[in-house]
Structure 1
Amino acid sequence: MAYSIRSFTDSDLEFSTGELTGALGDSITVLPLLVALAATTSVSLPHVLVGFGVFQIVWGLYYGMPLSVEPMKALIGLAIVGSLSYPELAAAGLLAGGVLLAVGQLGLVGRLQTIVGEPVIRGVQFAVSLLLLEAAVGLSSGNLPVAAAGIAIVGLLAIVGYRQASVLFVLGLGSVAAVATAGIPAPQLPDPVLFPAGTPSLSGAALEGTVAQLGMTVGNAAIATALLCGDLYDRNISADTLSTSMGVTCLAAIPFGGVPMCHGSGGLAGKYAFGARTGGANVLLGVGYLALALVATGALLAAFPLSVLGVLLVVVALELARAAVSPVDGHRGLAVVVGVGVAGLAINVGVAFVLGTVAFWLVSRLE
């Protein structure tokens, strides 16, 4: 049975089984990254979940379609591997939000994309996947038998056709283990304070991460998502409009303990693949995030097995690497992607982004 209401854009919002499964499709990469971030930094997971819950609902109602709300993966990945502290992450997110709001209002998103080049953007994605894989190995090494069992479960589910759902299954197993250790926490509202995990601190690392993230966001979260809105949902939503809403999200959420968020094309495709067709999926997922925020205590997070977290990061890293490499055409483009990725792992993502942009410009002149 399906129920429907109207969104702010006068589109139908349905609440059906398809919307519910579509909502789960968007959480496949979001939840593992948020749990990993909370386990490795000072971020407050309840506050982060509130931010995701609120803006899933806001943009679902505003756009009237299952628009994705995801973490900014370059910045989140850098924080997970220790290259950014939470105060630096918050500063980078505020800076990125301000830039996205400005370029969206000025209609500059398309021009930025032509300057950077898609292989460089894909290279940043590949770099983040390598960094996450490196962190995953470190986390998994604490309990190799448990990590091996987790990888085996993921592999088995992938073989029988549940590759994406395997992440949620392993996350569920880790959560059960955490509850068995710490018990079921009493629901508790997060404190409504400004910057609960630390005052933003702008540093060189935060600036480098912001530059790299903006390259990814312009290409993957603005332009690619705008195209996908038309391809999958027959909706004409401009990249500049999406850039504006991402800027608003970051600037509004981060002061209250949130993290940098964007509209990812992968999350939108995931929602569609799992059956979401309206913004009702966002409302359902937002309510789910808000419910999780009530019980995501520090004790429960501390009890989550780090080796299982390593397994989750392996899966997320491999999926991010696949998304980075598979759309690239030609040996030269692939060389730029791999070069940026390796440079990001060996040096840092910001330097790799700049070097990749220069390399892409030189390569394009040779064609």
Structure 2
Amino acid sequence: MIPESADEVTLPRPGANRYDRMEWAGAFGDLGTLIPFVAAYIGVLKLDPFGVLFAFGLSMIVCGAYYKTPFPVQPMKAIGAVASIQAVQTALVTPAAVYIAAVATGIIWFILGVSGLMARLARLVPPAVVIGIMLGLGFGFMLQGIKMMQSDWIVAAAGMAGTLALMGNRTVPAMFVLLAFGAVVGGVQNPELLSRLGSASIGFKTPSMALTDVGGNQLFVGVVLLALPQIPLTLGNAVIAITDENNRLFPQRPVTEGRVAISTGIMNLFSGAVGGIPMCHGAGGMAAHVAFGAKTGGSVVILGGVLLALALFFSQSVEALFQLLPAAVLGVVLFLTGVRLAAGSSVLPAGRGDRIVVLVCAAACMWNVAAGFLIGIALHHLNARGMLKL
């Protein structure tokens, strides 16, 4: 059974990270979001895998050690989607533009955090909109998971059955079994990937400055086309919603929107400098880690350590490694993450108007979180004026 709140699990003492088998299992709960976006950046935009993984790995280690809850580090979804589409259709987006987008994003959120403006913005977002965002994200994850599972229903059904049977089992963590099952299926379906991984060589790399040759066009694309459209999505999901999610599940380790904005800013400034991608703290990521057993920041430190090791020693083999897990197995991970996130935000407000705001906001967020956030704010103000008649 997937726990719906902090009351349903035994929490460790405040301030302590754990690194037991459940933290290891929970560490890999967010792969359904991480792998597709990272693979797209590396495969489509041809970003150097080293910079992407190095930035993720070090950021996760620092966030897990600092927050001491399963505080996630994820790719920024709107920027990732726009970047991939632009690269395919118009070739306007270059790796340098992605690095610029990360730096611009970092500057924006760092200023909002240290200036205190983030706290003021957060107070303007009503609870109904926060619930709607989380509910919509949950259903969106479930829908995307179903789409991915359609690629191989037999594999998906077997993976889902085994995972549900082991969910909550502390002796045999469900995520370990699901990943092992996925690796075996991937190896059988694509034996050439095993050959590529088997012949991979170990080569140590060190970070270097990525922002060495930036032109005006890349600056425009990175700031205007990539960074600015991401702001509403990050505000709703990766600052306000994750703060609410963390404080609901881990009241002994509370965070504020200002702290989250500052950490978002710092890790993006670092990521852009070393050749990484724009990153954020998504509420769905915490749901994913917790759903598969994580209760402390140890899970995030573990995943960060794995990614850092891949960056330093195996970055040229990462694309083949990511391709080994079938889409159907990643779909199972996304679907269960969505269930966990939607279940945790399923208590609707008492007022009919507020319930309408939640449901419409959630429905819109399944299409576009930034649009859902803005629609929810507009409906809230209409409801407050008695103009929402449905």
Q: What TM-score results when the alignment is normalised by the length of structure 1?
A: 0.73
Q: Closer, same or farther in 2 for the Cα pair 1:188/1:120, shift >3 Å? A: farther
Indicate which of 270, 276, 284 corresponds to 1:257. 276
Q: Which amino acid aligns with 1:186?
A: S
Deviation at 1:322, TM superposition (A): 2.6
Give the counterpart letter for 2:179 in structure 1. Answer: L
Does the CA-based 8 Å contact 1:95-1:210 persist in structure 2? no
Of 179-188 and 88-97, the range deviating more from structure 2: 88-97
Residues 1:241 and 2:259 are matched in the alignment: yes
Letter in 2 for 1:322: A
Partner of 1:58: 62
Tell me the secondary structure at the aligned position of residue 232 of structure 1.
coil
The correspondence for 2:333, drawn from 304, 312, 318, is 312
8 Å contact kept, 1:228–1:265: no
Q: Which residue of 1 is the match for residue 234 of structure 2?
A: 213
Q: Aligned residue for 1:147?
A: 156
Say whether the 8 Å CA contact 2:150–2:328 is kept in structure 1: yes
1:107-126 alignment, distance < 5 Å: 107-126=116-135
Aligned equivalent of 1:135, options 124, 141, 144: 144
Which of the numbers 66, 71, 77 marks the counterpart of 1:68? 71
CA distance in 2, matches of 1:340, 1:83: 26
Distance in structure 2 (CA, Å) of the matches to 1:313 and 1:265 = 9
8 A Cα contact 2:357 2:376, kept in partner: yes
Counterpart in 1 of 2:9? none
Deviation (angstroms), 1:119: 2.4
1:141-189 deviation per Cα after TM superposition (whole angstroms, max 9, x unaligned): 222211222222223223x657x95345323322344456322343344
- Is the 2:105–2:227 Cα contact (8 Å) retained in structure 1? no
Partner amino acid for 1:218?
Answer: V
- Residues 169-217 of structure 1, C-alpha deviations (whole Å, 9 max, x = no match): 3233223444563223433446746289x96634557633321221223
Match 1:99 to one of 84, 87, 108 = 108
Q: What is the Cα deviation at residue 318 of structure 1?
A: 2.5
- Are the equivalent residues in 1 in contact too, given 2:114–2:258 (CA < 8 A)? yes
Structure 1 position 102, deviation (Å)? 0.8
Give the partner amino acid of 1:57. Answer: I
The change in CA–CA distance for 1:187 and 1:334 in structure 2 (over 3 A counts) is farther
Is the 1:178–1:300 contact (alpha carbons within 8 Å) kept by the matching residues of 2? no
Alignment of 1:1-367 (within 5 A): 18-21=18-21, 23-24=23-24, 27-41=27-41, 42=44, 47-60=51-64, 63=66, 65-66=68-69, 68-71=71-74, 75=78, 79=81, 93-158=102-167, 165-178=173-186, 181=191, 182-183=193-194, 184=198, 185-189=200-204, 192=207, 194=210, 201-202=222-223, 207-222=228-243, 225=246, 231-233=251-253, 238-255=256-273, 256-262=275-281, 267=286, 270=290, 274=294, 276=296, 283-293=301-311, 294-295=313-314, 297-323=318-344, 325-330=345-350, 331-346=352-367, 348-366=368-386
Check 1:156–1:82 CA distance in 2 against 1; reply closer, same or farther (3 A cut).
farther
Can you list the C-alpha shifts for 1:114-144, whole angstroms capped at 9, x where unaligned?
A: 2122322333334444444443333322222
Provide Cα deviations, 1:229-256, integer angstroms capped at 9, x if missing partner. 7x324x7x65423321221011211342
* Contact 2:242–2:282 (Cα < 8 Å) also in 1: yes
CA distance in structure 2 between the aligned counterparts of 1:80 and 1:153, rounded to whole angstroms: 36
Q: Is the contact made by 1:125 and 1:216 (CA closer than 8 Å) also made in structure 2? A: yes
1:323-366 superposed Cα distances (whole Å, 9 cap, x missing partner):
3x3254335434323212222345x3332221111111222344
Identity of aligned residues (%): 22
Q: Is the 8 A contact 2:159 2:181 kept in 1?
A: no
Which one-letter code corresponds to 1:137 in the other structure? I
CA 1:34–1:72 in 2, change beyond 3 Å: closer, same or farther? closer
The answer to whether the 8 A contact 1:73-1:128 is kept is: no
In structure 1, what residue type is equivalent to 2:334?
L
CA distances 1:286-335 after superposition (whole Å, capped 9, x unpaired): 32332244445222323332222222222223323333x32543354343
CA distance in 2, matches of 1:250, 1:123: 27
Distance, in Å, in 1 between the alignment partners of 2:76 and 2:382 is 27
CA–CA separation in structure 1 for the residues paired with 2:67 and 2:150 = 44
Corresponding residue number in structure 2 for 1:3? none
CA separation in 2, counterparts of 1:36 and 1:165? 23
Query: Given that residues 31 and 330 in structure 2 are in contact (C-alpha distance below 8 angstroms), is that contact kept between their aligned partners in structure 1?
Result: no
Conserved 8 A contact 2:25-2:175: no
2:133, 2:373 within 8 Å by CA — same for their partners in 1?
A: yes
For the residue of structure 2 that corresponds to 1:254, the secondary structure is: helix
Alpha-carbon distance in 1 for matches of 2:24, 2:385: 44
Could you say if the C-alpha distance between residues 13 and 303 of structure 1 is closer, same or farther in structure 2, counting changes exceeding 3 Å?
Answer: same
Instruction: State the alpha-carbon separation in 1 of the partners of residues 298 and 324 from structure 2.
Output: 33
Relative distance call for 1:136 and 1:188 in structure 2 (3 A) is farther
Whether the 8 Å CA contact 1:74–1:128 is kept in 2: the answer is no
Give 1:108 shift: 2.1
SS in 1 for 2:29: helix
Amino acid at match of 1:147: A
Distance 1:51 1:285 in 2: 12
